[in-house]
Amino acid sequence: MTPELPVNYFRHEHGRLVSVLSRRFGAQSIELCEDAAQAALLRAVETWTRDGVPDEPGAWLYRVAHHYVIDALRAQRRHPGRG
């Protein structure tokens, strides 16, 4: 698989992914949701290049981005003065 595939796929899915995450976590978290979408893209480039594109790439991207947001929110709760 070439690195272009995740980028092309992500270009089409980015808005949907940020939208779904924003509905789940609230509009006040829009920047975090955008960061999560970018993190999912980076992970896709690394993982999909090595292991191939998953059967459900949209679900895979959402799962990675969702976990990113959850981890970031947990870190904010542990260290409220940071980020």
Q: What is the pLDDT of residue 83?
A: 54
Model pTM score: 0.82
Residue 32 covered by a domain: yes
Residue 44 covered by a domain: yes
Q: What is the pLDDT of residue 8?
A: 67
Q: What's at 9, amino acid-wise? A: Y
- Residues spanned by the domain of 34: 4-78
Q: What is the pLDDT of residue 72?
A: 95
pLDDT in tens, 18-54: 999 999 999 899 999 999 999 998 898 899 889 998 9
Q: What is the pLDDT of residue 12?
A: 80
> What 3 state SS string does 14-51 have?
HHHHHHHHHHHHCHHHHHHHHHHHHHHHHHHHHHHHHH
> Into how many domains does the chain fold?
1
Rg value, the chain, Cα: 13
